[in-house]
Amino acid sequence: MAECLNDCAGDGDCLQACREVGSPDAVLAIDAIFACIAENACADADGAIDQDCLQTECPGELELCFGAPPEPSGDATCGELNECLTLCGDDDACEFACVEGASPEALELLQNAAACFQEADCEEGDGPCFQEACGDVIDACLEDEGPRPIADCPDLNECLRGCDGEACQDRCRALAPEGAVLDFDAILTCIEDNDCADEDGVDQACMQENCGVELEACFGPPPQPEGEGTCAELNECLTLCGGANDCNAACIEATSPEAFQTFDDAVSCIQASDCAPDDGACIQAACGDEIVACLGEPEPPRDPLTCPELNECLGACGDDEACIEQCREGSEADAVEAIDAALACVEENECRRDDGSVDQGCLDENCTDEVEACFGPPPEPQGDGTCGELNQCLSLCGGARDCQVACIEDSAQASFDLLVAASECVRDSGCEPDEAQCINEACGDEIRACVDDGGPQ
């Protein structure tokens, strides 16, 4: 029935005819999907459906109509999956077979590419545009060589760690040698026999205590600390490994025996504390001494950022949203309000250039109050520095506000005026920053006046 409705292309009579020939259950299932689309605003004014919204908001309704989604459990690569789906046309059964024949990694890579294509502001068929917007994910798909061979028990463990369904787990087991499966299953049996697992996961201390023989049969002898690394370095190293066995072993082997014992003491304390993994206060209260022995004393809390400090922090973040949020959360409320007002003024008055920089002249003309609310009154030149010295000083500041203020205050008023005149000329010249000849033709007199400035007479 879904195919029938899709073929109608919005024709009312056609849609009604599809409903009349469909079973009551099919009509209810289709109606549930459309109701979910409407409730979650998954369609635009022209009726085009946002597939991401549909998949996220209406999985139950989709499964009721089309059945459970296929689960990748094969070894086809991302490129092979893409080619297979292309040949299917609108054949759902063919598409299901393609997905089931692909590896989970291949499906994820193809989904990443498809999501990028949907978000890219490119016209259909504009290959260069899509390549520029999504080149990285396209290359990742094309370079996919398929699942890594499962040669032994540790490989099987890694494969199973990446699964989120039984089909994937069955695939890992099917690809592994029989001995690897038997060794891994022996660990699972030991964990179950010794009650080393509950709804929160596996109790590592219990497993290490009771299943040493089974673990060694799978993973080999445990790595021995024989390096010089500290406890804090070991903790950071293991965190970056993400559970990969070879990586974990390398971290431990690079650690000194004393540091490893300190780390083991802290881990054992946390495991025995009965604290939830995300209950930092409980863990700190139970094992604070052991944690300090490993990581050292925590850094004292930092004072909230002022508005100028927040501006510098945001400038260093670039487009990193997590960094931007951290800057804002660590700032005074008044600072956040002031910087938001200044940024809003910049946008409202179109003071931002195409390259993302701010037009200082536009800012001075339209946003004086907002800038002063954040940074305070503008600095006054009251020294004897020349125009050239002021320009060099500012270029070394790297945008640091306190540094820029000091440069201006150390300069002479006439020298400051010369630099402002040269800067405004360059800004208004229409020349690109690297077009030296253009800048010199437009602003040669102002630049020479700055260079020739000898300071107060």
What is the per-residue pLDDT for 10? Answer: 47
Provide CB contacts within 8 A for 85, sequence distance 6+.
95, 98, 99, 110
User: Considering the domain boundaries, does residue 71 fall inside one?
Assistant: no
* CA atoms of 159 and 162, how far apart (whole Å): 6
Tokens standing for residue 263: 């780390």
Q: Are 412 and 455 in contact (CB under 8 A)?
A: yes
C-alpha–C-alpha distance, residues 184 and 219, integer Å: 9
241 CB burial (10 A radius; 0-12, 13-18, 19+): middle
Please compute, for residue 428, the number of CA atoms within 13 A of its CA located in the half-sphere on the CB side: 10
Residues 392 and 412 in one domain: yes
Residue 101 sits in the same domain as residue 54: no
154 and 202 share a domain?
yes
Instruction: Please identify, among 267, 300, 333, the residue that sits at the C-terminal boundary of a domain.
Output: 300
Neighbours of 177 (CB within 10 A): 14
Burial of 287 (0-12, 13-18, 19+ CB in 10 A): buried
- pLDDT, position 435: 85
Domain count, the chain: 6
Same-domain status, 385 and 456? yes
Measure the CA–CA gap between 183 and 230, rounded to whole angstroms. 33
Residue type (1 letter), 349: N
- The answer to whether residue 115 sits within a structural domain is yes
Report DSSP letters for 350-412, one per residue.
Answer: T-B-TTS-B-HHHHHHH-HHHHHHHH-SPP---S-B-HHHHHHHHHHHTT-HHHHHHHHHTB-
Is there a domain that residue 293 lies in? yes
Together in a domain, 127 and 158: no
Q: Which domain holds residue 185?
A: 148-222
Collapsed DSSP state (helix, strand, coil) of residue 305: strand
**Token representation of residue 143:** 């370079």
Distance CA 372, CA 389 (A): 26
User: What pLDDT is stored for residue 381 in this prediction?
Assistant: 92
Which pLDDT does position 15 carry in this prediction? 54
Per-residue pLDDT of the chain (457 residues; tens, 9 = 90+): 556 656 655 455 665 666 666 677 777 887 888 888 888 888 887 777 777 788 888 888 877 877 777 888 788 899 999 999 889 887 878 988 999 888 888 888 999 998 898 888 888 888 888 888 899 999 999 988 877 778 899 889 888 887 777 877 887 888 899 999 999 999 999 999 999 988 777 887 789 889 999 999 998 998 999 999 999 999 999 988 877 778 888 999 999 999 999 999 999 899 888 888 788 889 999 999 999 999 987 766 678 999 988 888 888 887 888 888 989 999 999 999 999 999 999 999 988 877 777 777 788 889 999 989 998 888 899 999 999 999 899 888 876 778 888 999 999 999 999 998 998 898 888 888 778 889 999 999 999 999 999 877 6
Residue 279 Cα distances to 164, 270, 274, 293, 425, angstroms:
26, 11, 10, 20, 59
| pLDDT score of 11 | 55
